[in-house]
Structure 1
Amino acid sequence: MPNIGAIIAWGLITAFFIPVGWTPNEKIATMVGPGIYYLLPLLIAYTGGYNLYKIRGGVVGATSTLGIIMATSSPLFDKVYTETGGSPMFLGAMIMGPLGAFVIMRLDRLWDGKIKPGFEMLVNNFSAGITAAILAIGSMFILGPILRAVMEGLGNVVEFLVDHSLLPFTSIFIEPAKVLFLNNAINHGVLTPLGLDQSKDIGHSALFLLEANPGPGAGLLLAFMVFGKGVAKATAPGAFIIQFFGGIHEVYFPYVLAKPRLLLALIAGGATGTLMNVIFDSGLVAPAAPGSIFAVYSSLAKGSALGVTLCWSSALVVTFVVAGLLLKMDRSEEEVDLAAATAQMETNKGKKSSVASVLTGHDASAAAGPVGSIVFACDAGMGSSAMGASVLRKKIQDAGFGDVTVVNKAISSLSDDYDVVVTHQDLTERARRETPSAVHVSVDNFMASPRYDEVVELVRARNGAGSATAPVAVADDVDATRGLLVEDAIVLDGGAATRDQAIARAGELLVAAGAVDPAYVDAMHQREASVSTAMGNLLAIPHGTNEAKADVRRTALSFVRYPDGIDWNGREVKYVVGVAALGNEHLKLMARLAEVFTDPERVRHLEEANSPLDVLEVLGAVQPA
């Protein structure tokens, strides 16, 4: 799937520049053969290996595929690529990419920790090279003949179906397979290699639209818009837009799982659409992936405009009519249980759905299992996320869910294995790209967001009632003379100031205290330019970027109070706490600050403070450890 863009690029070159293309060009067309023989299979193999064992796995996996490529394209072999009726190198890449990565990963574990210092690079490079060479030769003489036979058989089946006008009947198998999430295996594992072969030879293939045709799904959703009930009727318009224009077909699967008889409508529509391509000898030059109407026309073959248009439009109309009749004949008064059907879809898929919220009003994964991990993510994984995580962690623990972990991280280091991801509203889309399977919660107030209570309720709904646990105590008898915050770094009346002036003042106090170099103040402004450090509850915590850690001499705080308040990106701020921290000390430091500024009594003491010593009584216990 990550290489669909490369396949589309190949398809565009094919569509325009081969002899039967839109604008034939003999020189540009020379890229078509190498693209299908070498580029696409090697990209697929590298991706498969990389997913299993990062770059090392990708390199070994791609090199191992070279044997399959030559075994199916070199004239030195009995049956070369052009005679097999298929593209064995694609299936070979899907096998050898992960297999090569798995083999080198297992070998690396055999001698992990046993290599003498200074020989690591030698062993790593030669072990990868020798392994890749052996696997490449093995794939050439062992896997090559097997895959040639498999693809030849599949090619013969397709040829038989085309010659006897039976291709439309494949919808009987393809439409149910889509709902069961076998669509990618069928489409990209079988239909795409065969279709690419046909496209290279005759300029188009109807196989690309057997699975990716957006018409059947669109027709089904239109039927729910007109004849559906309750939640299904209300959510169908949004699902239609995602399916037809966005190309994400899984959004309509729950509607079918809730009423399996609707498969008849999809089969009828899919068969009708395929029949149009058969009649008009039309198709695409490359896969339409994702199956959006835009992707369909971007891969349109010359002379296929009418046939392809009738393909998706007739499929839509027939599916709409049949599905409408089935819905009208349904005498049940019960509404479609989309939540249950979506949960079933995610079970079939094996992971959470990124479009489930369109159907249920929230992430359908909320019913999929207990919450075990929550991450608060920000741009750098430092100040704001540490403070937000601290506030949320305390709420989760106070609710009796001490076994639920709440951590903070930078968005760039997120992995898609967290149950809930909390971010500032400006960063949610970035986080969603990194963790599409998680429930995402956006906040605009790190200290007192009402969304935190929603997260607690989500955990309670998925994990049960919880059990009472004592809140974590924070020592408040720490000697203020430890130097984290000193009297000279405390200002009780900052006067009138802008946000940037307040940041500079907080940084200059840190410089005067000998905690940071002057360059750190510039880094504080850079941090503010990327993400606001206004936390809510009248607090801002300006701090430097990760790169400015070298400018920090010791962990320290500065404190400036603005009694009349200042405008901080549209929020009122009265307390500006400048932060400088060595290593990871900022994590615990932010947690302590969060506890102070979520305690109304401590905030009142800060507001009424008449001297730096009054401030020290409150903030003197804020220590990184």
Structure 2
Amino acid sequence: MSATPTTTKPLGGGVRARIQAFGGFLTAMVIPNVGAFIAWGFVTALFIPTGWMPNEEFAQLVGPMISYMLPLLIAFTGGRLVHGARGGVIGAVGTIGLIVGAGIPMFLGAMIMGPLSAYLLKRVDRFLEPRMRAGLEMLVNNFSLGILGFGLCLLSFAAIGPGIEELNKLLLAGINALVATGVLPLLALLNEPAKVLFLNNVIDQGVYYPLGLQQAATQGKSIFFMVASNPGPGLGLLTAFLFFSKSKLIRRSTPSAILIHFIGGIHEIYFPYVLMKPLTIVGMIAGAASGIATFSLFDVGLVAGPSPGSIVSYLLLTPRGNYLGVLTGVLVAAIVTFVVTAAILKFDRFRSGSTLDEEDEGLEAAQNKSSSMKAEGRSLLAGALTQTDARPTSIVFACDAGMGSSAMGASVFRKRLTKAGITGIAVTHAAIENIPIDTGLAVIQQNLVERARRVHPHLTIIPIANYLGDPALDELQEKLAGTPAPEASQDTLNG
């Protein structure tokens, strides 16, 4: 996807936005499957020998779910992000070789092999599409996926899988060493600043979720699900602002923020408070480190990743015998953060002598800054164009299944653009429900437009009567020929 620069960039904003976009990709690969992780967590918490309701028959579900179902879901979702439904299918095919050839759950392998397989298919499709004869699209598409998937499956089984398995062993050794040395609380020095900068997805989905799943597969729980998601520090911060801020606006808005954060699990609600008073990050680090230390002391963990990071999620995902340690860790984190933040707020108010209006304006400015920072990564991930007068970089022909008439229409229109000397526009095809999020323009048969609007309300659509000789396609070609190409950067997320 093409990335375009934002109009204003703080120092280091470009690098942070790119890291944030990468985290957004990881999130988009993991978050849709969190419900499946939670389902596996419930099965584990209830039916394993040490669970709430030990059941030998139901416990047989634990192994296949974590070894096959969850990695394949991740691989399919990651592949689909890169290359639609075809990418999802080949992502799963390429990953099954890793799963069968390894003796461990292949979460890390799925997060690599799923998008990689889809990327390779995307390249193959781009090579074949201009060379396909009209009417042969379905035949070529099916066999190109099948042949490439066959090769990737064998390659991942014989070569890629063993390499990832060795890497996984190193990660597990690192986990055990980190826990044994007692330095786990120091992770708070990384976690809390990264969260406020909207890099929390890189940490959670890219590091802690895979580590936690590996540990939970062998121990039935993992502390890594809690090192960055603890709702205690945010609760302590917001409570300190509630009692020690001079601003009536802040005190009036904070109770709802506490509810959204602690019960709803939306941690982003407190980020503007930290940005308004940056020194309060010290309180967040202190509270988070105290919470991790408490979790370690009680030797507790969760059975799956709590998404969202709500106290409700924590309670539902806490295994038998771990409630005291989990609740104590959340409470300790909240108290420590509250005490440190309260001291900082009182000192800062005495030192600066700020007025009520200044504090109100500070919160509003911080909220705007927080929204802007989050938008940078989203814009980069989605490849949003800032120039409204630029022509689209991608056009998707969409139909019911995305394989027959739309594939033929895309092939013909692509050749028309090439013959007219119009370059820089990717013309592809997809099912209506699978139109990629970065699509600049969609060409859809007119009786399917209403269906497309319901699925993609913000998509620009060109309705046509047929996919071959429609006058709307002639008008579109003329418009593209006379419209300047967008000034997009050369950075790409998916190649």
Q: Is 1:161 the equivalent of 2:172? A: no
Which of 33, 36, 51 aligns to 1:6? It is 36
CA contact (8 A) 1:14 1:200 kept: no
- Cα drift, residue 343 of structure 1: 4.0
Q: Is 1:107 the equivalent of 2:121? A: no
- Cα drift, residue 209 of structure 1: 0.7
What is the aligned partner in structure 2 of residue 206 from structure 1? 223
Paired residue secondary structure (1:212): coil
Q: Which amino acid aligns with 2:96?
A: L
Paired residue secondary structure (2:32): coil
What is the aligned partner in structure 1 of residue 51 from structure 2? 21
CA contact (8 A) 2:286 2:337 kept: yes
What is the aligned partner in structure 1 of residue 280 from structure 2? 262
List per-residue Cα deviations over 1:49-74 (Å, max 9, x = no partner).
1122221111011111112223332x
Distance in 2 (alpha carbons) for counterparts of 1:70 and 1:352: 36
Distance in 1 (alpha carbons) for counterparts of 2:244 and 2:122: 54
- Cα drift, residue 265 of structure 1: 0.8
- Cα drift, residue 298 of structure 1: 1.0
Q: Is 1:309 the equivalent of 2:327? A: yes
Distance in 2 (alpha carbons) for counterparts of 1:219 and 1:282: 21
Distance in 1 (alpha carbons) for counterparts of 2:195 and 2:203: 9
Q: Which amino acid aligns with 1:121?
A: M
Paired residue secondary structure (1:22): coil
Alpha-carbon spacing, 1:255–1:15, altered in 2? closer, same or farther (3 Å): same
Distance in 2 (alpha carbons) for counterparts of 1:268 and 1:198: 26
Distance in 1 (alpha carbons) for counterparts of 2:75 and 2:385: 34
Alpha-carbon spacing, 1:338–1:140, altered in 2? closer, same or farther (3 Å): farther
Q: More helix by proportion, 1 or 2?
A: 2
Alpha-carbon spacing, 1:127–1:417, altered in 2? closer, same or farther (3 Å): closer
- Cα drift, residue 116 of structure 1: 2.7
Which of 268, 272, 291 aligns to 1:250? It is 268
Paired residue secondary structure (2:131): coil
Q: Is 1:337 the equivalent of 2:362? A: yes
What is the aligned partner in structure 2 of residue 34 from structure 1? 64
Distance in 2 (alpha carbons) for counterparts of 1:348 and 1:2: 23
Query: Which ranges in structure 2 are unaligned for 5 or more consecutive residues?
Result: 1-30, 379-383, 390-432, 440-452, 459-471, 473-495
- Cα drift, residue 193 of structure 1: 2.3
- Cα drift, residue 41 of structure 1: 0.8
Paired residue secondary structure (2:302): coil
CA contact (8 A) 2:38 2:304 kept: yes
Distance in 2 (alpha carbons) for counterparts of 1:196 and 1:28: 20
Q: Which amino acid aligns with 1:271?
A: A
For residues 366-405 of structure 1, the aligned pairs below 5 Å read: none
What is the aligned partner in structure 2 of residue 581 from structure 1? none
Which of 74, 79, 82 aligns to 1:44? It is 74
Distance in 1 (alpha carbons) for counterparts of 2:159 and 2:369: 40
Alpha-carbon spacing, 1:287–1:434, altered in 2? closer, same or farther (3 Å): farther
Alpha-carbon spacing, 1:224–1:32, altered in 2? closer, same or farther (3 Å): same
Distance in 2 (alpha carbons) for counterparts of 1:413 and 1:96: 21
* Greater radius of gyration (CA): 1
Which of 163, 173, 196 aligns to 2:190? It is 173
What is the aligned partner in structure 1 of residue 487 from structure 2? none
CA contact (8 A) 2:85 2:434 kept: no
- Cα drift, residue 165 of structure 1: 2.3
What is the aligned partner in structure 2 of residue 490 from structure 1? none
Alpha-carbon spacing, 1:349–1:99, altered in 2? closer, same or farther (3 Å): farther
Q: More strand by proportion, 1 or 2?
A: 1
What is the aligned partner in structure 2 of residue 290 from structure 1? 308
- Cα drift, residue 31 of structure 1: 1.0
- Cα drift, residue 271 of structure 1: 1.3
- Cα drift, residue 207 of structure 1: 1.4
Which of 300, 305, 314 aligns to 2:318? It is 300
TM-score of the superposed pair, with normalisation by structure 1: 0.54
What is the aligned partner in structure 1 of residue 155 from structure 2? 138
What is the aligned partner in structure 1 of residue 427 from structure 2? none
Distance in 2 (alpha carbons) for counterparts of 1:43 and 1:296: 23
- Cα drift, residue 134 of structure 1: 2.0
If asked which structure has higher relative contact order (CA below 8 Å, sep 6+), I would say 2
CA contact (8 A) 1:61 1:101 kept: yes
Identity percentage over the alignment?
A: 46
What is the aligned partner in structure 1 of residue 492 from structure 2? none
Q: Is 1:150 the equivalent of 2:162? A: no
Q: Which amino acid aligns with 1:313?
A: L
TM-score of the superposed pair, with normalisation by structure 2: 0.67
- Cα drift, residue 203 of structure 1: 2.4
- Cα drift, residue 27 of structure 1: 1.0
- Cα drift, residue 322 of structure 1: 0.8
Alpha-carbon spacing, 1:224–1:94, altered in 2? closer, same or farther (3 Å): same
Alpha-carbon spacing, 1:271–1:57, altered in 2? closer, same or farther (3 Å): same
CA contact (8 A) 1:61 1:97 kept: yes
CA contact (8 A) 1:175 1:263 kept: yes
- Cα drift, residue 208 of structure 1: 1.0
Distance in 1 (alpha carbons) for counterparts of 2:435 and 2:98: 36
Paired residue secondary structure (1:158): helix
Query: Which ranges in structure 1 are unaligned for 5 or more consecutive residues?
Result: 74-80, 82-86, 354-367, 374-411, 419-430, 437-583, 585-625
Q: Is 1:239 the equivalent of 2:257? A: yes
- Cα drift, residue 323 of structure 1: 0.8
- Cα drift, residue 245 of structure 1: 1.1
Distance in 2 (alpha carbons) for counterparts of 1:145 and 1:228: 56
Distance in 1 (alpha carbons) for counterparts of 2:65 and 2:268: 30
- Cα drift, residue 239 of structure 1: 1.9
What is the aligned partner in structure 1 of residue 13 from structure 2? none
For residues 222-233 of structure 1, the aligned pairs below 5 Å read: 222-230=239-247, 231-233=249-251
Q: Is 1:186 the equivalent of 2:216? A: no
Distance in 2 (alpha carbons) for counterparts of 1:346 and 1:164: 39
CA contact (8 A) 2:225 2:305 kept: yes
Distance in 2 (alpha carbons) for counterparts of 1:247 and 1:434: 27
Distance in 2 (alpha carbons) for counterparts of 1:25 and 1:292: 29
CA contact (8 A) 1:232 1:255 kept: no
CA-atom RMSD, angstroms?
A: 3.3
CA contact (8 A) 1:232 1:338 kept: yes
Paired residue secondary structure (1:210): coil
Distance in 2 (alpha carbons) for counterparts of 1:258 and 1:245: 23
How many residue pairs get matched?
365
Higher mean alpha-carbon deviation, 188-197 vs 310-319, is at 188-197
Distance in 1 (alpha carbons) for counterparts of 2:233 and 2:326: 14
What is the aligned partner in structure 2 of residue 326 from structure 1? 344
